[in-house]
Amino acid sequence: MFGFTIVWSGQLISVLASTMTQFALTIWAYEKTGSATALGVISMAFIVPFLLLSPIAGVMVDRHNRKLMMMVSDLTAVTATFGILLIHAFGELQLWHLIVASVVNGLGNTFQWPAYSAAISTMVPKEHYSRTNGMMSLVESAPGILAPILAGILLPIIRLTGILTIDVVTFFLAIFALTVVHIPQPVKSEEGKAGEGSIFKEAVFGFKYIFARRGLLGLLTFFIVLNFIIGLSANLFTPFILSRTDNNSVILGAAQSASAVGAVIGGLLVSLWGGFKRRMTSIFIGEALTGLFVLVVFGLGRSLPIWIVAGVLGSIFPVFTNGASQAIWQSKVAPDVQGRVFSARRMIAWSVGPITPILAGLLADYVTEPAMQADSWLAAWFGPLVGTSPGSGMAVQYLLTGVAYMLTVLLTFLFFPTVRNLEDIHPDHDQVK
């Protein structure tokens, strides 16, 4: 666990700085364009490289030294940040620069996620998978508490250039942490040997592996549907808050920090407790409560106190569901094929990624927002709940997707035993003879 903790610490510091950069650049982009669609385009640019190159990345992770793959992915990401820093320093920063940088960041993440996820399986014992996944969730959530506040304080003082500089420096700290830690390579399994061959054969191996296992495929499909539903609203977080508060970045930062507090609490609970013994129980309960707080309660809110309550409570439960899901995959899939399988899994799961940010923005800009500010049936139905001021249309999207989200969880639990009983259907990889 010591080596993992060193790598984890480097990532925690680096992600804190990167989250500050993301916060500052998001405000910059929205102030320049005033468009939720523009923010969706930036999000889409991050996802597209992953969808195109993910199978190849999985092959590279399984074929080559995983520490090297982790370092290369970090270097790719810092290149994008350094490029934005230089362009901004010369006063030439434009929206399309952020889109290009998002593409490069997406390319780095394509290799980073499967490499880091697979490395956990060789760095820590199986009984600690849930705990380490809880710690990794803290890397994603803990910076969200401090980053918006720090960025809000530092932005007027050191400007965007200073924020970007901090980000670049911390990237190299994370890379240094990798250099001093030993990351074991996985032992070859029979499945791994059977999947060896050309790049094409190895690239499709991950997909064949998943589709040959009904329980894992069902779990993946379950999350795809939920990701699509929540994406129709969650991508509107920033424009929703800003439109409700007359572009108040302080309230936006506080709301983001509140969500991060919940995620940190969830991460600490998972790290200490590990969740229910039956991991699918954690997933079903957690997802139902996620839909309630992240979408329904949050959408009904018109002030910071409601958003804080919804953000804190709604961010606790996804940590349990994601940690439980990741532990299931790490337990069921042999470590030497996890790069390919995890890349295929994430590529399939993110297949809706390029669609939802754009669709969410278009629905808000051209359908729900205009409808809620006019004499329409939508305003008549939902006006008493969310009002008819700017942001009310996006609130309707939150409410409707929240109901759909919770119904999906309920129907899956009741009518899909392959998913419900996944842990009994497929043995752990160390139990396969």
Contact 216, 338 (CB under 8 A): no
User: What's the pLDDT tens digit per position in 391-422?
Assistant: 899 999 999 999 999 999 999 999 999 999 99
pLDDT value at position 421?
93
Is the pLDDT at 286 greater than 80, yes or no? yes
pLDDT value at position 288?
96
pLDDT value at position 232?
92
| Nearest Cα residue to 147 out of 12, 43, 315 | 12
Q: How confident is the model at residue 1 (pLDDT cuts 50, 70, 90)?
A: low
Span 195-206, mean pLDDT?
82
- Residue in the structure block whose two tokens are 């754009």: 358
Cα–Cα–Cα angle for 407, 279, 315, nearest 5°? 60
Is the pLDDT at 182 greater than 80, yes or no? yes
Tokens matching residue 119: 């490395």
> How far, in Å, CA of 373 to CA of 387, rounded?
9
User: What's the pLDDT tens digit per position in 113-140?
Assistant: 788 877 777 788 777 777 787 888 777 7
> How far, in Å, CA of 355 to CA of 358, rounded?
6
> How far, in Å, CA of 321 to CA of 275, rounded?
9
| Nearest Cα residue to 10 out of 179, 177, 144 | 177
Is the pLDDT at 287 greater than 90, yes or no? yes
| Nearest Cα residue to 44 out of 331, 388, 359, 269 | 359
pLDDT value at position 389?
85
User: In CATH terms, is domain 2-431 a member of 1.20.1250.20?
Assistant: yes
> Which segment of 96-100, 146-150, 163-167, 215-219 scores lowest on mean pLDDT?
146-150
> How far, in Å, CA of 424 to CA of 418, rounded?
9
Is the pLDDT at 223 greater than 90, yes or no? yes
Span 219-227, mean pLDDT?
94
pTM over 0.85: no
Which residues in 176-307 belong to E strands, given as ranges?
Answer: none
Is the pLDDT at 285 greater than 90, yes or no? yes
Is the pLDDT at 331 greater than 70, yes or no? yes
pLDDT value at position 283?
94
Span 19-37, mean pLDDT?
77
> How far, in Å, CA of 148 to CA of 24, rounded?
8
Q: How far is CA 10 from CA 85, 136, 170, in A?
A: 22, 12, 8
Tell me the CA end-to-end span of the chain in Å, nearest whole number: 28
pLDDT value at position 300?
92
For the chain, the average pLDDT equals 85
> How far, in Å, CA of 305 to CA of 301, rounded?
8
Which residue type does 9 have? S
User: What's the pLDDT tens digit per position in 304-317?
Assistant: 999 999 999 998 99
Is the pLDDT at 59 greater than 80, yes or no? yes
- Residue in the structure block whose two tokens are 């290369």: 72
Higher per-residue confidence, 237 vs 50: 237
